Every structure is written in structure tokens, then in C-alpha cells.
Amino acid sequence: MIKILSAYTQELDDPAKAAREILEPLDIKNSLLKNTVALFFCHAKFIEMGVMETVIKSLPFDVLGCTSQYFGVPVIAGTPASAVDGVVIMTVTILTSDDIAFTVGVSGRLNEKNVEECVQELYGRTESLPGEKPSLVFAFLPTLASAPGDFTAAVLDRLCGGIPIFGTLALDIQNYIRHPKTICKTIGQTSDECGAFSDRIALLLFRGQVKPRFFHSSFPEKSILSCDAVITEAVGNRIVSINNRPALAFINDLGYAPNGLQENIMVFPLVVEYPNNDTHVVVLLDTNPEGHLICSMKVQSGGILNIGAISADSVLESARTMAQELKKNEDGAGFFMFSCILRNVVLGGSSQAEFELVRKELGNYPGSWLFINSGGELCPGYTERGETVNRFHQYALVACQF
């Protein structure tokens, strides 16, 4: 059994006050079971103002998480949370258990050449620590143009041997990516391995008989605007040319970004269709001086490229459906829900509507839960036989329920 405790603060100016606002409702002296870990999510401003460092140092157990741009306040069992503008907020969610153990680790610095080496070293080091074999992994990945999330997630899946993996890419986005960070602190780590990182993976292994339920709602099929385009040259996660024209020039000429694509880099997802109905939703991370499109995942030449199109109604309906499914398990401790930042864009730049809808649908759901925005979602799907298959998503709503 896992018990979930949550607290949040909006205090940016006084780190000591922020720590008190986190610690007092958690009451960790009286609330913890044998094994404990904290999941930490915050707007990047909490790192810049020194609040993150003060808070994680005040917690006497391992901590990991990442930055997020907008999210709803944690909803604590039996305590309805008031509506809060989640633009600048920090949350700490504690997992504590007598029969489930938690192991946390942080990787070395990733670059385009060493992803497999770093992931292998991290997982091998973390998995080899004393205790039962892991049954679940939470992963928080950096947002790096040189190390796309799908590749990193695939390496981790292979090393884990198919153990379910749930998590997100770090997020700090307005019209462009700014300073997304993963966050990690483990008791006994050196200062170089404790803090906020732009290029490291933070990993949590669950050891014991934890049996979560997973939910995901991906990009709606056929929700695309056709642009009669084929990727004619691609290298790794860079689209070099489309219809034999420079990629950036082609996209700009479509007219979807009247102020220039560089000023609206995250707004329009690309839907790339490969043979055998293999379709990927691809988020643009950046452009480079050569006019290439830097993507969130690997792309290949020959793919048919379209612009994604989804309505606010579609976003809210998928959230309603998922909330109704989550509510059916009233005996659970709670859940984590990650919503892609591009769903936020469709809703006019704020996730509050999606968060409020989920809260309304859940009604008197007795468990604790947390809703945050994501820069790329890791969540298993299920085969026809009910087995889990790890997947990397874009533009998705995902949830893990205990």
C-alpha cells in the first residue's frame, strides 16, 4: 500500500516561508511510514529565486521531479482545494509505504553521443542497490534538442526489460523553450549530484508489489490539416527539407504562424505518417540557423507530414472520459495526471479549464491526486492480453493510479 501526502506553495520571495508552507501540512513527523520519497514539481522561477533549494534541503528523504509551466494545485484526500492560478506554483507530493521501497538516482550529463551510456549507467547503478527487483519506474527526462525524449525513453525501456515506465519531460515554455530542469536529491549524494539540471535524468524505482493502473488519451486520429508534404531529408531529430525545400521556409509559407515560426515554435504539432499506419505526433522544439526544424523525437525521410489540429472540445472531452475512469477505483490511494503543454495551448494558454473539469468529474473521489503540464509523456499502454507496453507520447493526457 502507498499513502500519498501533498502540499503546495506560491511563495517566491521568502524561501523559509515557502518551506514552512510545505512542511506544516505534510506533518512528516507523524505521517510517514517505513519508506518515503517526495515528488517535486515547480515553475522554473522557484529555482531562480532559490526557493527550490531551500525546500528540498528541508525534506529528510530522497526527492525528484522537474519543472512544469502550469498545473493545478494538488487535491488532498478529504480536503477540497480552492481554485488557484497555477502559473507560479510549487508542489511536493510524498509517497510513503511500509511494504513498497523507493530508490532514487540521477544520471550523468547527457549529450547526443552518450545517451545510451548514461541511461545504462544510471539504471544499472540504481537497480543494483539492495532490495526487491523493481516493479515500476518513474522517469523525469531533460528536454534536450540533442537527445530527443523518444530515444531516451526507448533506451530506458530496453534496459528495464519492459517494467512499466511513467513520467514526463521537464517543461519551461512560453513561446519557446527556456530553462527546463529535472530535479533530484538523494540522501548522501555529493552537491554536484543534488539540485536542478538541464541535462540529467532523475529516476525513481518502486520495489515491491505495486500494481498501478495506466491511462492515456493521445492525439485524435484524423485531426490533421493536410499540407501535401513529404519529409525529403531528415537527420536524427532534425527535419532538413520538406518537398525538397528548406524545412523552415516550407512551414513558414503555409501561413499557420503569421509572426514567424520562431516566435510560435511550440504551437503547432506535426503529424508524421509512415508506412503501415505508423503515425507519430511530433512537437517542434526549435529551429537552427540552417533552417532545420528541431523535433522532440527522431524523424525519418519519406514520412508524410501534416499539421495537427485539435479543438478545445476534444481536449476537455478526453479529460472528462479519463476522470470518469479514474473515479471508478475508489479504493485507490490516488493518481498523477500529466497533460501535454500543447493541450494547454488549445485551451487558450491555461490548463485551469482542464484541471477544473477533472476536479468536477471526480466529485467526492477519496484519493489524493496531482495534475501538471508535461513536455512529453511516458505512459504504458495495454496489449489485448492486458500486458503493459511502454510508450512515449506527445500531445497526450496520461495518468498513473495507485
From the CB of residue 278, how many other CB atoms can be counted at a distance below 10 Å? Answer: 10
State residue 78's pLDDT score: 44
Q: Report the relative pairing of strands 165-169 and 334-340 from DSSP bridges.
A: unpaired
Residues contacting residue 75 through CB under 8 Å, at least 6 positions apart: 6, 81, 359, 362, 368, 369, 370
State residue 314's pLDDT score: 86
What are 299-348's pLDDT values in tens digits? 999 999 887 777 788 889 999 999 999 999 878 789 999 998 878 777 77
Q: What is the mean pLDDT of the chain?
A: 86
What are 9-46's pLDDT values in tens digits? 989 999 999 999 999 999 999 999 999 999 999 989 99
Please tell me the pTM assigned to this model. Answer: 0.87
State residue 221's pLDDT score: 59
96 pLDDT higher than 90: yes
Banded pLDDT at 64 (limits 50, 70, 90): very high
Most confident of 94-98, 249-253, 327-331: 94-98
State residue 80's pLDDT score: 45
CA-CA distance, 105 to 156, in Å (whole number)? 13
- Of the two residues 188 and 230, the one the predictor is more confident about is 230
> What mean pLDDT comes out for the span 57-80?
76
Residue 180: closest CA among 48, 19, 63? 48
Residues 341 and 373: beta-carbon distance below 8 Å: yes
Residues contacting residue 74 through CB under 8 Å, at least 6 positions apart: 6, 7, 8, 81, 91, 93, 368, 369, 370
Residues 146 and 123: beta-carbon distance below 8 Å: no
- Of the two residues 198 and 375, the one the predictor is more confident about is 198
380 pLDDT higher than 90: yes
200 pLDDT higher than 50: yes
Span of 139-148, 187-196, 218-227, 374-383 with lowest mean pLDDT: 218-227
